[in-house]
Every structure is written in structure tokens, then in C-alpha cells.
Amino acid sequence: MLDYPTLKIIWWLLVGVLLVGFAIMDGHDMGVGTLLPFVGRNDVERRVVINTVGPHWDGNQVWFITGGGAIFAAWPLVYATAFSGFYWAMLIVLWALFFRPVGFDYRSKIANPAWRSTWDWGLFVGGAVPPLIFGVAFGNLFQGVPFQFDDHLVSTYTGSFWGLLNPFALLCGVVSTAMITFHGAIYLTHRTEGETQRRTLRATLIFGSLLLVTFSLAGFWLWQGIAGYAISSLIDPAALPNPLGKTVLRQNGAWLANYGKYPATIALPVIAYLGTLAAMLLATKGRTLAAFVASSLAIVGVIGTAGVSLFPFVMPSSTDLRSSLTVWDSVSSQLTLNIMLWATLIFMPLIIIYTGWAYKVMAGKVTAAYIRENEHGAY
């Protein structure tokens, strides 16, 4: 069995991998949902757009569910504190996600235009709202969240839902939505043709630019305007997790400290910029598959930047600093982390292989002719 400190770091990385996997896989079909009412101007066009992800959205959504499960298993305190603290935000995400399975599966089963239009907007909500809220949640993590633990580690959240919607958090929400919509637009350029493809290409340029601008703004704000968190007591990475056993202070610029300490991590924001620019360029040149790889890298860069900036914090507390949750003191036992590592190492490669096969089987452009030939089978 690996030693405890190593496992704690590995699990921080693995949660990152799962989040990035979620953003790349579920993200592109959420982006497709967000763009659906705008890039599809008639029923056939909309069905084309929906069917680019028709066979895949369900598998992709499991990234989200597995991500939730993995956080439950590896960081139970984070799962408990974040999900209950962000109660209404989580419920809004959940209720927005309700529109996806039924939207995809039920929309084209009835020919009535009002019915179809309702589900199209449902898919829009299911695509746009979750990334927005996740971005807002990240924005609040940087500012600290008002919660504290009692002696028995019962957490109490003292903020309100509306308090989450502050300017910095909303900016992070825009970063996240722009990133996901951009990625979805690139996927659509890869899988569609003609007029629809031209519209998605325009969306690529709009949301790519928006991502670059808002990502830069958020970075500047983080550097100049937000006091970060730092652990001020001695850290024993091998200790049994106890969030109340440390002291924490707030410092200007603390969120950028890791880039000084580990200069290699500067690569992450650089990848975010280069990936976005490359994806825009490649999409314009018609090299859409390469563009998709580039926008996936941009996602690695953006999420990686957020993660490294926060490290070792996962969920800092603004009202009781020592209650802050970090990668050292909010994790599962060594045994559980070890078992979950094995489970991930065994199953993740298999998942990637059969997901890849599924995309290969369904590869190629989705066309209006395909929709007409599969009137009853297609979404």
C-alpha cells in the first residue's frame, strides 16, 4: 500500500482528472445543449445538432456521477460540506440536469412543434446552467465559504444562496460557461456541415474570445483583489485527517504563491491560453478534430489553474479559518484511498477504450439526410 501523503496527493490529482474528464466529455454535450436553440434554426437542423451527441450524452454524464461518487469516497468531508452548504445551488444544478435525459429521449418522439421547442429550451437549461453554477461555486471557493465545524465535525453553513452570486463568483461562472460552450461549439464544427457548421464556427470565435478575456480578468482579480488562504501551522501530511487541527491565515496574493514555489505549474495557465487560441485557429482552418484536442487541453489548463491556485485548499472557510478543508485533512482513510486508487487504475483505462470505440462507431458528420432516413430511430 502506498504511504498516506502520496495517496493524498494522488487523490487530489485524480479528482482533478475526473473534473477535467467531466468538463471535456459531459462538457461538450452541455455546450451543444447551450448552442442548440441558436445554431439550429429549424427542426431538421436542431435534430442534426442533438444527434451529434445522441449516442454519447448518457455515457458522458457518468463522468459527473462518478466524479460525485469519487469525491464522496475520497473526500467525504468535502462532499458533505460542499453539497449541503451549497444546498440551493446544487439543487438548481440537479433540476437543470433533469431536462437532459428526458429532453434528449422524448423530444423527437412527438411531432408537435411546441413540444419540441419546449424540450429544446430544456436542453439549453440543462447545458448552460450546470457549468454556470460550477463556475460560481469555484469563484466562492477562492473567497472562502461561510461554514464551520463543531467538536463532532457537524458542519453548519451560515451563508445564503444569494450571497454566492457575488461579482467575482459570477465572473468565474462566465469563465466556466464560456469554456464549456466554446468546447461544445468546436465539437459541433467537427460533427456538422453547411449552414449549421458556419454558425457553430462563429460561436467558436465568440466564446473562445470571451473565455480568453474573462479568464484573464479573473486571474487579475485573484492577484489584486482577493485575499488568499495559507496554512500557518506545521503540516504533517501523514497525520490522520482532522480539519480542526491546524491554523490558517488570510494573505493577499496567497492564491498565486504556488506559482512561485513550483514554477512548472505556470505551464497550466499558459496551456489554457495556447489551447484556446490554437483551437480557434484550427477550427477556422477546418482541422476540427485537432481543434477539439486543443480545446480539451484548454480545459485542462483552466481547471488545472484553479486547482493549483487553491492547493492545498479544497474548500476554505471564511468564518472559521481552521475549519477550512484541505487535501491533507478532509480525505478518507489510507485503506479506502488505496482501494479507490486500484479501482480507478483498473476501470478508467477500460472506460476510455470503450468510450473511444463508441465514438469511432458513430463517427462522421450528422446530416439532414441521416435525420430523414432515421425519422423514427434518431432523436
Which lies closer to other proteins via its Cβ, residue 37 or residue 69? 69
Q: Give the strand pairing for 248-252 and 227-231.
A: antiparallel
DSSP summary character for residue 241: P
Q: Give the strand pairing for 248-252 and 313-315.
A: unpaired
Smallest separation (angstroms) from other proteins to the CB of 310: 20
Residue 378 found at the interface with other proteins (CB under 8 A) = yes
- Sign of the CA dihedral running 371, 377, 378, 379: positive
Smallest separation (angstroms) from other proteins to the CB of 188: 18
Name the β-bridge partners of 147.
157
Q: Any idea how long the chain is?
A: 379
Which lies closer to other proteins via its Cβ, residue 150 or residue 195? 150
Cα-trace Rg, the chain: 21
Footprint of other proteins on 80-109 (CB under 8 A): 80-84, 87-88, 90-91, 94-95, 97-98, 100-102, 104-106, 108-109
Footprint of other proteins on 7-46 (CB under 8 A): none
Residue 273 found at the interface with other proteins (CB under 8 A) = no
In 3D space, the residue among 371, 258, 316 whose CA is nearest the CA of residue 85 turns out to be 316
Smallest separation (angstroms) from other proteins to the CB of 104: 7
For residue 244, give Cα distances in angstroms to 132, 150, 213: 32, 9, 39
Residue of 358, 365, 369, 372 interacting with other proteins (CB under 8 A): 358
For the record, the C-alpha cell of 362 comes out as 458513430
Residue 157 found at the interface with other proteins (CB under 8 A) = yes
Site string for other proteins, 55-74 (x = CB under 8 A): xxxxx-xx-xxx-xxx-xxx
Residue 237 found at the interface with other proteins (CB under 8 A) = no
Residue 224 found at the interface with other proteins (CB under 8 A) = no
Smallest separation (angstroms) from other proteins to the CB of 140: 16
3-state secondary structure of 230: strand
DSSP summary character for residue 317: B
